[in-house]
Structure 1
Amino acid sequence: MPVSASMITWTPEIAKECGVEKHCLELNATRPNRAESSVQVGLYYESLCPGCRGFLSEQLFPTWVMLQDIMNVQLIPYGNAQESFDGKRYKFTCQHGEDECLGNMIETCVLNLTGSVAFQIIFCMESASDVLKAAQPVNILRLCQTTNSQPLQHSPLCVELYAPSIKWESIMDCVKGDLGNKLMHENALKTKALKPPHKYVPWVTINGVRDS
């Protein structure tokens, strides 16, 4: 008798073996919460930090998917960045260069503009091969091109997938404008206020406290 997907009990091990682990995580993450969150988990990280990406996509997000009824996650993209003020705007220098500053800013604006689906979008970005490309709309003409008769690989449309009502232009207006600058400064203040101060990233707090 043929076996349909609906007849399978999808454990994490089966999902991984079948190559659909990420899809299952993203699908399960969209289910509504059944209870109010009680544990507050803070993640202080950088968008292009390999260790941060691995922790977020392989440990924190899967844990949240399973425990989101009792777990609330606060993401603070900043990490080891430095800021200065030129009299008008804050300027940021990031550990992994300008691309990381852009990634931090995109994810900060995603957190501000997309509400309850922000974590799903950021997981989608951080688990992709290219964090920055994963967030952006794909050029439809490019998708029609082929290389050696094979379709070109393309990044997932993370923002469009989870927040179709949010235009990419709105994200970029935040990134380039005063709102994004203000939000990133707030991330800097939150990071600098950590006690004890963070020594590395990813840096995790539970209910506002670092368990040493």
Structure 2
Amino acid sequence: MERLISLTLIAVFALFGIVTSTTECDLPPSLWCSTSETAKRCKVFDQCKDYQTEKRDAKLVNVTLYHESLCPDCIDFITTSLWKAFTKVSDIFTITMVPYGNAMEKKEANKYKFFCQHGEAECVGNLIESCAIYVLKNERASFNYSHCIASYLNTQRRVDFPKAAKKCANEQSINYDQIDACANGQLGNQLEHQMAVRTRALNPSHNYVPWVTINGVHTEALQNQTETDLIKVVCDTYQGPKPSACQEIIHDTHSCRRLKSEL
């Protein structure tokens, strides 16, 4: 894909008679339009204006995380691999959070009773996260909120989920009372039921969490890649011009490393 983009850009720039000095532009053609600053340095700013339309038309990669609020591995994934990707390449992927995981539910009268792997406290956490997603109605804001909570839980294991959720809400100017009312009412119960339905609809069915799908696809190989280098997975999947952070990862992952036995 990168080679195809490079050839396309070379053809476009050749058509306009553009010759770029390597002393001024030390990047491959596929990255000349990655940012306005790069385009100016490579003397293709005007031509990149039209080319950026392709980037806007490229479909964003969807990363969906099926998780549960007090799962240590889920907390670790949110605060490491997923957070790193969010800070580096968030402009080319979307994040969908599904807080339910290995829980079970049982219909009782007009509501559902949930049974969670890490006890009742985890069910409370799942409800709070589901309600935060509903209340905030912005995937980036809700993920940023979830990351804040996970960070507190990761560093202070004795902090309960509601306490961490309230603290993060205060830090991020979020109306926690609205989230809390949702989590303790019928709305939260129905929202968490929807998370249960979505989790059960997975194909293949999940058998652990965190469980990650990329554009709706899950394989063991893909799961392993998302845990070790989610940025590379997102960059490889994205069909538009790659942001500069992708190039950094490409250089890093294609380097030849000496084995310790050779030292």
* Secondary structure in structure 2 of the residue aligned to 1:68: helix
Alignment of 1:189-200 (within 5 A): 189-200=197-208
* 1:37 and 1:68 in contact (8 A); partners too: no
What is residue 115 of structure 1 aligned with on the other side? 137
- The residue number in structure 2 matching 1:13 is none
Unaligned runs of 5+ in 2: 1-54, 221-263
RMSD of Structure 2 on Structure 1 (CA):
1.6
| Superposed structure 1 runs of 4+ greater than 4 Å apart | 34-37
Structure 1: tracts of 5 or more residues without a match: 1-33, 137-156
Letter in 2 for 1:122: S
- Counterpart for residue 125 of structure 2: 103
Q: How does 1:59-138 map to 2 (within 5 A)?
A: 59-116=81-138, 117-128=141-152, 129=156, 130=159, 132=161, 133-136=163-166
Report whether the alignment pairs 1:41 with 2:53. no
Pick aligned residue for 2:78 from 38, 48, 56? 56
1:159 equivalenced with 2:183 (yes/no): no
Task: State the Cα distance separating 1:88 from its structure 2 match.
Answer: 1.1
d(CA) in 1 for partners of 2:74 and 2:175?
27
Percent of aligned positions that are identical: 43
Bigger helix fraction: 2
Residues in 1 aligned to 2:149 and 2:59: alpha-carbon distance in whole angstroms: 24
Quote the residue 1:207 is aligned against. Answer: 215
Deviations 1:152-180 (CA, angstroms, capped at 9, x unpaired) = xxxxx211222x2x422211110011110
* Contact kept in structure 2, 1:125 and 1:131, CA below 8 Å: no
Separation in 2, partners of 1:160, 1:109: 16
Moved more, 123-132 or 41-50: 123-132
**CA separation of 1:62/1:37 partners in 2, compared to 1, >3 Å: closer, same or farther?**
farther
Kindly tell me the number of residue pairs found equivalent between the two proteins.
157
CA–CA separation in structure 2 for the residues paired with 1:105 and 1:203? 19
